[in-house]
Amino acid sequence: MEKDQLVLVTGAGGFIGGHLVGDLLTQGYTNLRAVDIKPLSDWFQLFPEADSRQLDLRLRSDCSEAAGGAEWIFNLAADMGGMGFIEFNKALCMMSVLINTHLLLAAREHGASRSLFASSACVYAAEKQERTENSGLKESDAYPAMPEDGYGWEKLFSERMCRHFYEDFGLETRVARYHNVYGPHGTFDGGREKAPAAICRKMIEAQPSGSSEIEIWGDGEQTRSFTFIDDGIHGTNLLMTSTVTEPLNVGSSQLVTINKLVDIVEEIAGVKLRHRYKPDAPQGVRGRNSDNRLIRKRLGWEPKITLEEGLERTYRWISDQMKSPARTRTAAMA
């Protein structure tokens, strides 16, 4: 695609979407439309070079406005968060199906040539994730279907919508199954944050308060892999520009326990806290990891940033945000 043709990024006020807009500008794309439901003042990253709009993409009319003239569409818009949010907001998570449905209709209506859907490792069958020792989830492990209730079902259904729009209408679709993407310029409090950001925040909060402990959901032995945002954006771009129409994992295969995740952040912070476990807290599946054989074969992609390096960059950013005068004033007014 020519770099002066219109590219639409939805969810642009959020974490991955904001980084994607910045990366596309760095690559030299000059005609970007950035869309999110949040007021522009609440976007994590706002770029003056982009046509930034506040729209509610659950509405077909707003999707039509967003997609008008777009050649490529990156759909990263969804009502989502970490496990604490997903567990207690299943209906809200499933309502995101309106976004992808209306956006695919708008893409077809306006003649877009390609659309990428941001899916999730939550589509994978629960029976494949019952043990902490997880060698990696292959793309085929999404079936027989038994995804995460609510959020995972919406993602899996939307994947099928993409597939059938390609088969029936010829709209080129791409599907990225993200595995726990984290990094700076994302949510770290308020209930929607994911484990890396939550642990960094808790560690930072403990130090000035003199607390000697940190709360960990579950027993800390559940396992996950975490993908730094720069690697995730690189994988996303490779997938979008490829000829691959099947879903692909975009994730790290560096499996760690949540306890190990806390240990790494403790080392970065230079403190050691007592671990207080909360076994009744939402914790999701027992073990989840990314099998990268297919994306490595099809796109030659593999994450380059280690968990240790990515967490340090994330911790430093969150620390700076929590110490900023603007945040202090906001907290005092709350």
Task: Measure CA 235 to chain center.
Answer: 13
Least confident of 11-20, 28-37, 67-76, 209-218: 209-218
Name the catalytic one among 29, 151, 166, 315.
151
Over pLDDT 70: what percentage of the chain? 97
* pLDDT at position 326: 63
pLDDT of 291-305, one tens digit each? Answer: 999 999 999 999 999
Cβ atoms of 115 and 9 within 8 Å: the answer is: no
Is the confidence at residue 103, as pLDDT, over 50?
Answer: yes
The C-alpha atoms of residue 323 and residue 206 are separated, in whole angstroms, by: 14
* pLDDT at position 25: 98
Is the confidence at residue 325, as pLDDT, over 70?
Answer: no
* pLDDT at position 334: 29
* pLDDT at position 327: 53
Q: Which residues contact 117 (CB under 8 A, 6 or more apart)?
A: 75, 100, 158, 159, 162, 173, 174, 175, 176
* pLDDT at position 17: 98
pLDDT of 175-214, one tens digit each? Answer: 999 999 999 999 999 989 999 999 999 999 998 877 789 9
* pLDDT at position 332: 31
Cβ atoms of 287 and 130 within 8 Å: the answer is: yes
The C-alpha atoms of residue 285 and residue 27 are separated, in whole angstroms, by: 37
Any catalytic annotation for residue 151?
yes
Residue ranges and CATH numbers for the domains of the chain are 7-180+229-250 (3.40.50.720), 195-224+255-298+305-325 (3.90.25.10)
* pLDDT at position 68: 98
Q: Which residues contact 80 (CB under 8 A, 6 or more apart)?
A: 86, 93, 96, 151, 192
Q: Which has the closest alpha carbon to 193: 84, 118, 289, 291?
A: 84
Is the confidence at residue 328, as pLDDT, over 80?
Answer: no
pTM of the model as a whole: 0.94
Is the confidence at residue 322, as pLDDT, over 90?
Answer: yes
Over pLDDT 90: what percentage of the chain? 90
